[in-house]
Structure 1
């Protein structure tokens, strides 16, 4: 029987939701799996809702389009929940039983009682992960929030490896096989002006991925086969 995961990511413009989905999808392929992505967004502007859908399997994937019934949801910004900044509402709509919700927040959020009840009925596993805080601590910027989330979900699911995620980052920022949208390209230019060398940008993003991976391991969230990454988790700002 094929192993299959449908992943829905939701956030706001400027957080790199689409870039994060590309990183994870490419990393799964580097690790020997199959994966496809479908981004979905309206106006390309900061704080506008953004979603991206990643399919992962150990067999060829033929479906395209949005993911209505995900096994995993990744929430990049708490406003997806508190302000309804999502194209799919409620934020957990369609989440399969025993599904995973990885939420970027410094601690548990107070959900509406109906939401809490429905998630409990689905036996959903909620992980509150301070991705933005970790990005600031490790890389000195919040723009690596997406990398922290990809590292964390990689460890939780065991779908890929740290090495494959690192290779995906190199592919992404060295321009190998990746076509960006106009808005993302503009954001890349802003980010790259903050660093003298592109290599430093890659190192910072990889450091945040490793930190997210290790956070999941240290908190007992990781898949049984996943081990802690012993490489350095921080770089000089």
Structure 2
């Protein structure tokens, strides 16, 4: 496997992804798959965690993924506020009054 390079990083050296969804559409699982692929197949350090309410189906879900170069450990578990990539799993999240897109790089 050749060493992969992150396309861009923030001031902390992270490439960050945020997935916005409604419970039951798979954002949490998608985040886990993306993070695992980045670690196992691209050789990055990776971190994945999610934020969701007690009611799984239908409640807002955010999945956060962070990658860094193998030489840089990830010791940051704060939510991704300014992602390099934003995945929106349902069009209702783009409706008026939603702040999904705020904070993009």
TM-score by length of 2: 0.78
1:54 alignment counterpart: 65
- Which of the pair has the greater relative contact order for Cα pairs under 8 Å at 6+ separation? 2
What is the SS of the residue equivalent to 1:65? Answer: coil
Question: Within 2, Cα distance between the matches of 1:42 and 1:53?
Answer: 15
2:92 alignment counterpart: 79
Give the helix-richer structure, 1 or 2. Answer: 1
2:100 alignment counterpart: 91
Task: Select the residue among 15, 27, 42 that pairs with 2:25.
Answer: 15
Say if 2:47 is the partner of 1:36: yes
Question: Within 2, Cα distance between the matches of 1:48 and 1:83?
Answer: 18
How far 1:95 sits from its partner (Å)?
Answer: 0.4
Cα offsets for 1:79-106 (capped at 9, x unmatched): 111265xxxx42111101xxxxxxxxxx
How far 1:71 sits from its partner (Å)?
Answer: 1.1
5+ residue gaps, structure 1, are 97-237
After superposition, the CA RMSD in angstroms is 1.7
How far 1:7 sits from its partner (Å)?
Answer: 0.8
Residue correspondence of structure 1 range 28-177 to structure 2 within 5 A: 28-31=38-41, 32-58=43-69, 59-82=72-95, 89-96=98-105
Deviating runs (4+, > 6 A) in structure 1? none
Question: Within 1, Cα distance between the matches of 2:56 and 2:68?
Answer: 32
Structure showing greater Rg: 1
5+ residue gaps, structure 2, are 1-5
Length, aligned pairs only:
91
How far 1:52 sits from its partner (Å)?
Answer: 1.0
Q: Is the 1:38–1:53 contact (alpha carbons within 8 Å) kept by the matching residues of 2?
A: yes
Question: Within 1, Cα distance between the matches of 2:50 and 2:85?
Answer: 16
How far 1:65 sits from its partner (Å)?
Answer: 1.8
